[in-house]
Amino acid sequence: MRNVALVFLLMCCGPRNGRLNINENPTQSPCFDGIMVNIENSCRNIHSHLVPGFDVIRVNCFDDANESGWASNTFYFVGNEAIFNKSGWIHVCSDPLLDAYFIDTHVATPTLKVERPK
């Protein structure tokens, strides 16, 4: 249920003109808001979408305004109850709503597999 709430919350705050406007419309996730403010300050156009088949939001710059890690990496937001194999993902932060990760796309190719409980 939390994952559905996460997707609804983040998609409702979807981009307008390539911006999420977090300063004007904060979510209930300080982890998401903090990362998005930094990305918005480093990038002219932000691409965000739901990863097909997963309750995962993917966010990255559509064009690099600068060469900071905020602009050059791909960020993933996952409901913290989700069970995924996050091979190559680097944990950034967590809060009661979600876990955030990034992937240096110059070094790794993202993998996303559902792990079935045993």
Interval 21-65: pLDDT, tens? 555 677 889 999 999 989 988 888 888 888 888 888 999 887 766
Would you state the pLDDT for residue 113?
57
The rounded distance, in Å, linking the Cα atoms of 61 and 70 is: 8
Would you state the pLDDT for residue 99?
93
Would you state the pLDDT for residue 98?
92
Mean pLDDT of 55-81: 84
H-type helices in 13-91, by residue range? 30-42, 69-72
Please give the mean pLDDT across all residues of the chain.
75
Q: How many CB atoms lie within 10 A of CB 73?
A: 20
The rounded distance, in Å, linking the Cα atoms of 115 and 48 is: 24
Would you state the pLDDT for residue 8?
44
**Domain ranges within the chain, ordered by starting residue:** 2-114
The answer to whether the Cα torsion of 91, 20, 64, 108 is positive or negative is: positive
